[in-house]
C-alpha cells in the first residue's frame, strides 16, 4: 500500500431515495455471471437498481432453486439467494422481478473451464517479478485516457498521476522477463480504480468485477493470463480485502450502513497490529486497528457482516475461475476481521487447493508475522490462520541490517541467522515471500548507498535463501530512489514508452554496470530454476563468525554452499567447521563467475562478497 492521506472530516453520502414515479430497474448484478459445477452450490446475488428492493422475484430454471430474497436498508438493492444444483446446465437464468412493472434479467451460468494449465499455484520454485502496470510499459496508447473515468489525462511528470502503462505493455515484455529468469508476474491491482486522486496504484478499487479500462478490458486480462501461461509465466493477482475506494458504487449507494465501519467523523487506523492479539490490549486500541480506515478515500469494510463476507468470497472465487490466475497476494492482510480471514481462506482453498496465496504482513517481530500464517501456535483469541504464506518483512529487515550495519552478537549479519532460526513457528516457511524492496519501500540500490558489491550480496541471498524470491521491477537494472516524500520508487521503467531517452529493456540501452547487474540476476535466477537444491532443498545454516555467514541448500540432486562476508576486509575461512555438509565433496564452482574452487579446506573471501558455490565430488 501507499502512504495514507491526512485526516479530514468525513460524512457518509446519503443513499438516494427510491424513485416513486418510475418503475424499478436492474442496473447490475454481482457476481456479474457464475458457473455450474462449483463445489459450493450456494450463490448470493446482489441486485442493484433504483427501487429494485420493493420487487418480488420468480424464476424457473432446471437445477436452480430460489432459496429466498432479502431486502436491504437501501431500497436500491435486493439480495437473492440461489442453490445451483449438480444437474444445472449452462445457460441464461431468467430472473423475473415484479414491482410496479415486470423486469426480466437474464443471468448467465457458464460451464467451467477445465484447461489443465490454469491455476498452477505459486511455490518456492518460482521467481516473482513485482511491477506496477501504470509504470512498467505503455503498449496501447489508445487506452491512456478514458472519458468515463475521473482522471482525464496522463502526466508522466507527476508521480501521483496516471502514466499510461497497461496490460499490453507487460505482454510486450514477456520475453524480457523470461530472459531475466522470472517465472511469475505480480502486478499491483489491475481492477478498476476510478478515484480522482492517485488512482494509478489500484489499492482503492471502485468495481470488484472490472479491470481498469486504462489497463484493458476484462477479456484482455483473461487473454493476458493465457498468454503468460503460454510463455511459461504465472500470474499473481493483487487483491484487497480490508477496504475499497470511496467512488465504488457500493459506498456511494450503501446497501446498508453495517456494510462499513462507521465513525462520527473520519477515523484512521492506529496501524498497531499488535493490538490484534495482545492479551493486555485495550478494547479501543483493538477497535481502532481493525475498524479504523486505512485512508480517507478507502472505506473500511465490515467483514463481520455475513453478507459482506459472502460478497467478498464470491468475488475472489470469480476472478480465479474467470481468468485461471495462479496466486493471490492479499494487501493489508492483518487489518481484516479475524473470523472472516479464516472463512475467506477456507473457502478459496476448498475450491482451488492449488492456488498460491500470501498476505502482506508489514508487522514487527517474527512471532507476530507467524501469527498471520499457517503456524504451530494454538488458536489465539479465536484466530488460527490458514494463510499458506506471508511477505517476509522480518527477513527484509534482517538483510537490510546485514548490508548496512556491522556485525554484532545479534546485529548486522547475525540478524539473518536469528530470523531464520525462528522458522520453527511456521508450518512451512518455504511458502513465505522474500524481497529486498517493493512499491512501498525505498529502493534497494539506494538503501545500500549504491554499493555494487553489496548489491550482488543481497541478490545472492535473495535467490539462494529458503522461500519464494520476489524482485521489484527495475532492481535488476539498478533503478534507485527513496520512498518519501516524492514517491519516486514508482518511477516509469526506462524504455517502456515511445520516445524514452533510455531503454533498459535491451542490452544495448544499458551501461556496463546496469548490464552486469542484469546478467548477475539472470545468471542466478536461471541457475536456481534448474537446480532443485536451491528452490526446494533443505537449508542448514552455521552461526556467523567474524562477519561471515555460511549456509547450505541441499537435496539428493546436489548441494550449494553460500558464503557471505559482510565486512569490508578479506577473511580466511576454515572450512573444516562445515564438515557436516562438505563431507564427500572435493571441489566446487562459483556459480556467478564460473571460478573453480579446488581446495575445500580453507577459502579467502573478499570483503562485501557473497559466493554461491556448487559443490562437486
What does the alpha-carbon distance between residue 401 and residue 397 come to, in Å, rounded to a whole number?
6
Give the strands of the sheet with 128-131, arranged side by side.
389-390, 356-359, 327-331, 234-240, 184-187, 128-131, 468-472, 433-435
Residue 207 has phi, psi (to 5 degrees) of: -155, 115
Cα→Cα distances 6→3, 9, 11, 243, 514, Å: 9, 10, 16, 17, 38
Other beta carbons within 10 Å of 408:
12
What does the alpha-carbon distance between residue 35 and residue 610 come to, in Å, rounded to a whole number?
51
| Residue of 171, 220, 253, 360 with catalytic role | 360
What does the alpha-carbon distance between residue 187 and residue 164 come to, in Å, rounded to a whole number?
15
Coil, strand or helix: which one is 184?
strand
In terms of phi and psi (left: phi > 0; alpha: psi -120 to 50; beta: otherwise), the region of 429 is alpha
> Can you read off the three cell numbers belonging to residue 557?
540432486
Beta pairing partners, 46: 30, 79
Q: CB-based contacts of 149: which residues, under 8 Å, 6+ apart?
A: 194, 199, 213, 214
What does the alpha-carbon distance between residue 151 and residue 154 come to, in Å, rounded to a whole number?
8
> Can you read off the three cell numbers belonging to residue 184?
511469475
| Residue of 331, 392, 491, 614 with catalytic role | 331
Burial of 530 (0-12, 13-18, 19+ CB in 10 A): exposed
Burial of 110 (0-12, 13-18, 19+ CB in 10 A): middle
Annotation marks residue 300 as catalytic: no
What does the alpha-carbon distance between residue 338 and residue 332 come to, in Å, rounded to a whole number?
13
Q: CB-based contacts of 472: which residues, under 8 Å, 6+ apart?
A: 130, 131, 435, 436, 437, 438, 439, 443, 444
Question: Cα–Cα–Cα angle for 539, 545, 546, nearest 5°?
Answer: 140
Confirm if 443 and 480 have CB atoms less than 8 A apart: yes
Q: Which helix (H) or strand (E) holds 219?
A: helix 218-230
Confirm if 529 and 123 have CB atoms less than 8 A apart: no
Annotation marks residue 331 as catalytic: yes
Confirm if 218 and 210 have CB atoms less than 8 A apart: yes
Cα→Cα distances 215→121, 148, 165, 226, 231, Å: 24, 14, 7, 16, 20
Return the closest-CA partner of residue 524 out of 608, 604, 439, 614: 614
Q: Strands 389-390, 356-359: parallel, antiparallel or unpaired by DSSP?
A: parallel
Burial of 280 (0-12, 13-18, 19+ CB in 10 A): exposed
**Residues annotated catalytic, as ranges:** 331, 360
Amino acid at each position: 500500500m501507499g502512504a495514507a492521506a491526512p485526516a479530514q472530516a468525513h460524512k457518509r453520502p446519503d443513499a438516494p431515495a427510491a424513485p416513486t414515479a418510475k418503475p424499478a430497474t436492474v442496473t447490475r448484478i454481482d457476481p456479474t455471471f457464475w458457473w455450474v459445477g462449483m463445489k459450493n452450490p450456494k450463490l448470493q446475488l446482489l441486485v442493484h437498481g433504483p427501487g429494485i428492493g420493493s420487487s418480488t422475484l420468480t424464476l424457473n430454471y432446471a437445477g436452480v432453486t430460489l432459496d429466498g430474497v432479502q431486502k436491504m436498508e437501501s431500497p436500491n438493492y435486493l439480495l437473492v439467494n440461489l442453490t445451483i444444483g449438480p444437474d444445472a446446465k449452462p445457460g441464461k437464468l431468467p430472473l423475473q422481478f415484479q414491482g410496479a412493472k415486470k423486469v426480466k434479467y437474464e443471468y448467465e451460468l457458464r460451464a467451467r473451464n477445465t484447461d489443465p494449465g490454469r491455476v498452477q499455484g505459486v511455490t518456492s520454485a518460482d521467481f516473482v517479478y513485482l511491477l506496477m502496470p501504470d509504470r512498467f510499459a505503455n503498449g496501447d496508447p489508445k487506452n491512456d485516457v478514458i472519458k468515463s473515468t475521473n482522471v482525464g489525462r496522463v502526466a508522466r511528470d507527476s508521480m501521483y498521476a496516471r502514466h499510461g502503462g497497461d496490460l499490453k505493455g507487460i505482454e510486450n515484455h514477456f520475453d524480457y522477463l523470461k530472459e531475466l529468469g522470472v517465472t511469475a508476474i505480480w502486478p499491483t491491482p489491475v481492477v478498476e480504480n476510478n478515484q480522482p486522486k492517485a488512482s494509478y496504484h489500484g489499492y482503492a478499487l471502485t468495481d470488484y468485477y472490472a479491470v481498469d479500462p486504462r489497463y484493458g478490458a476484462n477479456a484482455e486480462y483473461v487473454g493476458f493470463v493465457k498468454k503468460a501461461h503460454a510463455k511459461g509465466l504465472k500470474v499473481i493477482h493483487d487483491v484487497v480485502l480490508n477496504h475499497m475506494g470511496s467512488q465504488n458504487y457500493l459506498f456511494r449507494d450503501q446497501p446498508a450502513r453495517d456494510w462499513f465501519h462507521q465513525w462520527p467523523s473520519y477515523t484512521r487506523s492506529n496501524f498497531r497490529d499488535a493490538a490484534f492479539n495482545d492479551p493486555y490490549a485495550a478494547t479501543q486500541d483493538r477497535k481502532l486497528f481493525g475498524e479504523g480506515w486505512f485512508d480517507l478515500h478507502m472505506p473500511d469494510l465490515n467483514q463481520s457482516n455475513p453478507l459482506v463476507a459472502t460478497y467478498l468470497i464470491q468475488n475472489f472465487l470469480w476472478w480465479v475461475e474467470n481468468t485461471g490466475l495462479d496466486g493471490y497476494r492479499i494487501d493489508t492482510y492483518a487489518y481484516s476481521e479475524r473470523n472472516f480471514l479464516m472463512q475467506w481462506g477456507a473457502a478459496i482453498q476448498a475450491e482451488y487447493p492449488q492456488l498460491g496465496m500470501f498476505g502482506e504482513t508489514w508487522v514487527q517481530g517474527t512471532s507476530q508475522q507467524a501469527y498471520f500464517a499457517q503456524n504451530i501456535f494454538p488458536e489465539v483469541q479465536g484466530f488460527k490462520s490458514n494463510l499458506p504464506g506471508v511477505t517476509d518483512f522480518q527477513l527484509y529487515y534482517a538483510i537490510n541490517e546485514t548490508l548496512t550495519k556491522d556485525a554484532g552478537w545479534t546485529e548486522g549479519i547475525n540478524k539473518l541467522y536469528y530470523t531464520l532460526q525462528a522458522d520453527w513457528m511456521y508450518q512451512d516457511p518455504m511458502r513465505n515471500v522474500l524481497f529486498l524492496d517493493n512499491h512501498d519501500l525505498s529502493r534497494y540500490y539506494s538503501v545500500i548507498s549504491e554499493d555494487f558489491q553489496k548489491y550482488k550480496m543481497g541478490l545472492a541471498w535473495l535467490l539462494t535463501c529458503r522461500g519464494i524470491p520476489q524482485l521489484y521491477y527495475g532492481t535488476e537494472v539498478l533503478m534507485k530512489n527513496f520512498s518519501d516524500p516524492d514517491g519516486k520508487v514508482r518511477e516509469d521503467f526506462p524504455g517502456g514508452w515511445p520516445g524514452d531517452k533510455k531503454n533498459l529493456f535491451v542490452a544495448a540501452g544499458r551501461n556496463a554496470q546496469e548490464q552486469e547487474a542484469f546478467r548477475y540476476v539472470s545468471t542466478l535466477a536461471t541457475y536456481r530454476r534448474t537446480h532443485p537444491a536451491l528452490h526446494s532443498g533443505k537449508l542448514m545454516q552455521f552461526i556467523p563468525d567474524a562477519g561471515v555467514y555460511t549456509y547450505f541448500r541441499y537435496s539428493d540432486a546436489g548441494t550449494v554452499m553460500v558464503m557471505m562476508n559482510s565486512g569490508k576486509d578479506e577473511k580466511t575461512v576454515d572450512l573444516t567447521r562445515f564438515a557436516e555438509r562438505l563431507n564427500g565433496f572435493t571441489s566446487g564452482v562459483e556459480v556467478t563467475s564460473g571460478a573453480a574452487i579446488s581446495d575445500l579446506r580453507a577459502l579467502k573471501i573478499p570483503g562485501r562478497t557473497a559466493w554461491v558455490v556448487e559443490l562437486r565430488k
